[in-house]
Structure 1
Amino acid sequence: MSVQVSRQSGTTTVEFAIVGAVVFLVLFAVMEVGRLMYTWNLLNEASRRAARLAAVCLVDEGVNGAVAGMVVDEVGGSLPGFTPANITLEYLDRNSGTALADPAGVDYGSIFYVRSRIANYRYEMVLPLTVDLSMFAPDFATTLRSENLGRIRTADHGGLSEAPCVGS
């Protein structure tokens, strides 16, 4: 009986090493999928916020990147590598819904929708593997109806004045 015990010493250590490696790999994979879903949800929220800000801020602020900068400041800390270059804003025509080439130079009445897109964001995985599983996230887009586009009514019988979203 003592011969069999000495042959089996260490088998539990080997079994634990094999099973433990698989368990930890599955654990890290589940955590990584959770991070991926969180990142995609945050990118979707960033797209929504950019469209909302573009709908209520001056068109010039959307064109010059100030709106994208505000969105990155709000959610960028949770998204490493997220920059204003990942955000594209389009102002869409009232009649055909096509993007206006120069939205800052048109009458505000011709802008009916605002579309924001999040594109070219690279998701970096932290799963400790020897292969790099990082990938580009899918593009996210949100289209909203334009609202005041940064113009507010004044007290002098319905006149309009511009109210920038970004402080000068």
Structure 2
Amino acid sequence: MRSDTGASTVEFAIVGTLLLLLMFGTLEGGRLFNSWMLITSEAREGSRWGVVRVGDPAYSDLNVLKSDVEEHVRARTSGLLDQAPAVFNVQATATEEQVTVTIDYRVSMVTPIISGIRPSFQLRAASTMRSE
């Protein structure tokens, strides 16, 4: 009669690897979803904040408006997102009185198993609002 201790070790190695892959995949998926929700919310907030100020005489120069919208969004995401991989693009038009905020953000994977498969994901969120 043979012992089954070796077979159970092999089974645990297979199941344990799949369990770790599932667990780390869920963790990274949650981080990706959180980052996507955050940049989507902040793109909306930035375009909303900017479109309210389109008719303001203090913002007659659209470059000032663009830089202030970017500063506003960066201040709101400070501490929540790593600012280095975030690219903010703000477009404002005086004739149509609309503001578009686009945020491109690269999320790096932190778990070794997932980062070996795909080291980072590029996320994009955009929002356009028009003054009415």
The reply to whether TM is greater than 0.5 is: yes
Q: Take 2:43 and 2:29, find their aligned partners in 1: how far apart are those partners?
A: 21
Cross-structure match for 1:144: 129
Q: Take 2:84 and 2:78, find their aligned partners in 1: how far apart are those partners?
A: 6
Match of 1:39 among 12, 35, 44: 35
- When the two structures are aligned, how many residues end up with a matched partner? 123
Unaligned runs of 5+ in 2: 54-58
What is the TM-score of this pair, normalised by structure 1? 0.62
Cross-structure match for 2:52: 56
Counterpart residue type for residue 11 of structure 2: E
Aligned sequence identity (%): 31
| 1:68 CA drift (Å) | 1.0
Shift in alpha-carbon separation, 1:146–1:49, aligned structure 2, 3 A = same
Q: Take 1:56 and 1:74, find their aligned partners in 2: how far apart are those partners?
A: 17
Match of 1:81 among 80, 83, 88: 83
**Superposed, which structure 2 residues align to 1:62-141 within 5 Å?**
62-63=65-66, 65-81=67-83, 86-93=87-94, 110-119=95-104, 121-129=105-113, 130-137=116-123, 139-141=124-126
Whether the 8 Å CA contact 1:81–1:122 is kept in 2: the answer is no
Counterpart residue type for residue 66 of structure 1: D
Cross-structure match for 1:157: none
What is the TM-score of this pair, normalised by structure 2? 0.76
Q: In angstroms, what is the RMSD of aligned CA positions? A: 2.3
- Structure showing greater radius of gyration is 1
| 1:92 CA drift (Å) | 2.5
